[in-house]
């Protein structure tokens, strides 16, 4: 038996390059399969809906819904950092022309809720007074954002 054509192939640099490329491709595919299997195992171990629960530090109760579809008496949860505005990136979205894109911010700090106007066009009112600086709030206080009025309530 004469194996000289095989010997010629093994000394051909282009053939060796092709074989090396195919080997690397197989290694990449094997790595993708391994990582996918690990991720699938992790997903199977985690219970369904195991997303991080939102921490509620208080509520806003709708007093006057203004031009929004909110319902008076509706309770809206306040998270440690809650933003209110017209943009869909806000925690509480108010679809009203009287509300700025990013209107008001509520922060939970030092075991208290603090409200701050984010340079909104129509301003933010707290107990019917314009909000000029970050102010601590307590249950029962009235917050007006655009044409919508809320009352703060304890969790």
State residue 45's pLDDT score: 63
What digits encode the pLDDT tens for the residues 120-155? 999 999 999 999 999 999 999 999 999 999 999 998
Burial track 111-122 (b if 16+ CB lie within 10 A, e otherwise): eebebebeebeb
pTM, full prediction:
0.66
User: Radius of gyration of the chain from Cα atoms?
Assistant: 30
Q: Which residues of the chain have pLDDT under 50?
A: none
**Token pair for 69:** 């579809």
pLDDT at 17: 87
């Amino acid at each position: 038996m004469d194996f000289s054509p095989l010997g010629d192939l093994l000394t051909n640099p282009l053939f060796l390059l092709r074989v090396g490329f195919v080997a690397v491709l197989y290694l990449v595919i094997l790595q993708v399969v391994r990582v996918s299997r690990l991720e699938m195992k992790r997903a199977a171990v985690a219970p369904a809906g195991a997303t991080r629960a939102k921490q509620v530090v208080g509520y806003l109760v709708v007093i006057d819904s203004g031009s929004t579809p909110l319902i008076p008496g509706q309770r809206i949860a306040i998270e440690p950092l809650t933003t209110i505005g017209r943009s869909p990136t806000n925690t509480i979205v108010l679809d009203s022309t009287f509300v700025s894109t990013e209107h008001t911010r509520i922060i939970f700090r030092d075991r208290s809720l603090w409200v701050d106007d984010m340079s909104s066009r129509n301003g933010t009112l707290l107990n019917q007074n314009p909000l000029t600086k970050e102010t601590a709030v307590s249950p029962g206080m009235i917050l007006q954002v655009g044409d919508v009025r809320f009352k703060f309530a304890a969790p």
